[in-house]
Amino acid sequence: MSEQLDYIIVGQGIAGSMVAHFLLQKGKKILVIDQYNPTSSSNIAAGVVNPVTGRKMVKTWLIDDLLPFAKKTYSELEKQLQVSFFYENDIYKIFSSAEDIENWNVKKTETAYHDYLGDIVAASEINPHIKAPFGAGIIKQCCWMDVPVFTKAYRAFLLQHQQLIEEAFEFSELSITDEIQYKGYSAQNIIFCEGFKAYKNPLFSWIPFALAKGEQLLIQADELNLDKMLNRNIIIIPKGDNKYSVGSTFIWDDVEETVTEGGRTEILNKLNKVIDESYQIVEEKAAIRPAMPDRRPVIGKHPKYKHVFIFNGMGTKGVSLSPYFANYFSDYLEQNFDIFKEISVNRF
């Protein structure tokens, strides 16, 4: 029998990695169980943090708290893991109409938006190959994360410290009594951070996940020369060497982690409305996002088993949500306060 563990964590995407990180910071003994999946949402996510979104240019939920905490956490993790994966880069928000410009100028006068909305620029100031007759506004304090680089580096860290088992979790091997027993391991608690596969978890089958398939392209565009990300119905991210990530789709009735002709066509139609430069498709990816109907995380204790927890539902905003709420969750696990209702598993 192995030494007594404080926590078994199932899943090592960005959510599971963040939970592991903050529990380790508290000196807890953990074991992560995860079978590597190259098509998981963490391995395919665009990883963009955008503080102001939508046609009405509304601030992202809790962004004033989430963003500085995410930047601090990822900076610390880059130093710890000795790898670069987090990049601050503003976004050109392409306007579709004069009304968009008017909305932008109104928002800029509001104190809450001063730190996020910058200048309006003409298309010619961005790139001659950009189609933006109404120009674009610069959204400040944006960033993107190379999530696969992070999860791979954190996986190596866990393996180095013998804190990860690389295999699929088997529910038939789980025993829940006054403690958790799993394949010879004994732990005080177990936390499920499985991403979209949580919809198959028999312990949490009553949670109404709203799974959303996303597809993404990597293109080569030698004349585009973008210095910032670009957003108009899709997000274009400069990845270096004239390569750009382009995506993503939202498909609600397909939970297969495979690319589709329809997804590719949708992305290319949107891309061709934004740029008129030639490009080549280098790679295509697809993954399922673990989203919730109310677009909020699902966090907390199982209603029957006091040693069983879930940390999930980060959806498209995993990069900004995961650090803040994993830290919050690690405090909750130690202090047992009431999780606020908007993110609590008990809301279902």
Domain spans of the chain, in order of start: 5-44+148-208+294-347, 91-140+212-289
Kindly report, residue by residue over 39-68, the tens digit of the pLDDT: 565 556 678 999 998 888 899 999 999 999
Residue with tokens 């992305």: 267
User: 3-state DSSP: the chain helix, strand, coil percent, rounded to 5?
Assistant: 35, 30, 40
Q: What is the CA radius of gyration of the chain?
A: 21
Burial 134-156 (b: 16+ CB within 10 A, else e): bbbbbbbbbbbbbbbebbbbbbe
State the CB neighbour count (10 A cutoff) for residue 292.
20
Residue 165 pairs with which residues in a beta bridge? Answer: 33
Kindly report, residue by residue over 178-193, the tens digit of the pLDDT: 999 999 999 999 999 9
| 92: nearest Cα among 82, 102, 80, 104 | 104
Task: Give the model's pLDDT for residue 44.
Answer: 60
Tokens of residue 277, six digits = 């430069």
Residue 200 has pLDDT above 70, yes or no: yes
Q: Percent of the chain, pLDDT > 70? A: 97
| 149 DSSP assignment | H
Residue 199 has pLDDT above 80, yes or no: yes
**pTM listed for this prediction:** 0.94
Task: Give the model's pLDDT for residue 1.
Answer: 45
Confidence of residue 91 (pLDDT cuts 50, 70, 90): very high
Tokens of residue 213, six digits = 């398939």
Stronger pLDDT, 13 or 42, i.e. the higher one: 13
**Packing angle between helix 318-335 and helix 14-25, nearest 10 degrees?**
40
Tell me the C-alpha distance between 17 and 300, whole Å: 17
For the ranges 40-54, 138-152, 164-178, 287-301, the lowest mean pLDDT is seen at 40-54
Tell me the C-alpha distance between 261 and 51, whole Å: 31
Residue pair 215/321 in contact (Cβ under 8 Å)? The answer is: no
Q: Percent of the chain, pLDDT > 90? A: 82
Kindly report, residue by residue over 306-344, the tens digit of the pLDDT: 999 999 999 889 999 999 999 999 999 999 899 999 999
State the CB neighbour count (10 A cutoff) for residue 60.
18
For the ranges 43-52, 63-72, 143-152, 236-245, the lowest mean pLDDT is seen at 43-52
Tell me the C-alpha distance between 212 and 263, whole Å: 12
For the chain, the average pLDDT equals 93
What architecture is the 91-140+212-289 domain classified under in CATH? 2-Layer Sandwich (3.30)
Using alpha carbons only, what angle is made at residue 311 by residues 198 and 144, rounded to the nearest 5 degrees? Answer: 100
Task: Give the model's pLDDT for residue 99.
Answer: 94
Tell me the C-alpha distance between 217 and 208, whole Å: 29
Domain spanning 5-44+148-208+294-347: CATH superfamily: FAD/NAD(P)-binding domain (3.50.50.60)
